[in-house]
A = this chain, B = another copy of it.
Amino acid sequence: MSEKMEQYRIHQEPYYRSTGDEVALYEAAYSVRMPMMLKGPTGCGKTRFVEYMAWKLGRPLITVACNEDMTASDLVGRFLLDAQGTRWQDGPLTLAARHGAICYLDEVVEARQDTTVVIHPLTDNRRMLPLEKKGELVHAHPDFQLVISYNPGYQSLMKDLKQSTKQRFGALDFNYPEHVTETEIVAHETGVNGDVAGKLVSIAERARNLKGHGLDEGISTRMLVYAGSLIAKGVEPLAACRVALVRPITDDPDMRDALDAAVTTYF
Contact = CB atoms under 8 A, between A and B. Distances in A.
Given A28-B234, A230-B32, A80 B86 contact: yes
Interface string A136-154: 1100000000000001100
A137 to B, nearest CB: 5
A116 B65 CA distance: 10
A168 B222 contact: yes
A106 interface: yes
A222 B124 contact: yes
Interface string A206-249: 00000000001100101101100110111100011001100111
Given A4-B135, A114-B69, A217 B249 contact: no
Contact of A163 (B31, B168, B233, B249): B249
Contacts of A249: 163, 166-167
A202 interface: no
A199 interface: no
A87 to B, nearest CB: 8
Contacts of A47: 124, 126
A122 to B, nearest CB: 10
B133 A90 contact: no
Given A7-B137, A65-B120, A239-B25, A248 B83 contact: no
A3 interface: no
A253 B88 CA distance: 46
A124 to B, nearest CB: 6
Contact of A173 (B34, B43, B126, B247): B247
A225 B36 CA distance: 15
Question: Range of interface residues on chain A?
Answer: 35 or more
A241 B110 CA distance: 27
Nearest to A4: B135
A55 interface: no
A176 B169 CA distance: 19
A141 B110 CA distance: 29
Interface of A: 4, 7-8, 21, 24-25, 28-29, 31-32, 34, 37, 39, 42-43, 47, 63-72, 74, 78-86, 89-92, 95, 106-107, 110, 112-114, 116-118, 120-121, 124-126, 130, 132-133, 135-137, 151-152, 155, 163-164, 166-173, 189, 216-217, 220, 222-223, 225-226, 229-230, 232-235, 239-240, 243-244, 247-249, 251
Closest 8 CB pairs of A and B: A82-B85, A171-B247, A69-B114, A83-B85, A67-B117, A42-B164, A67-B114, A152-B251
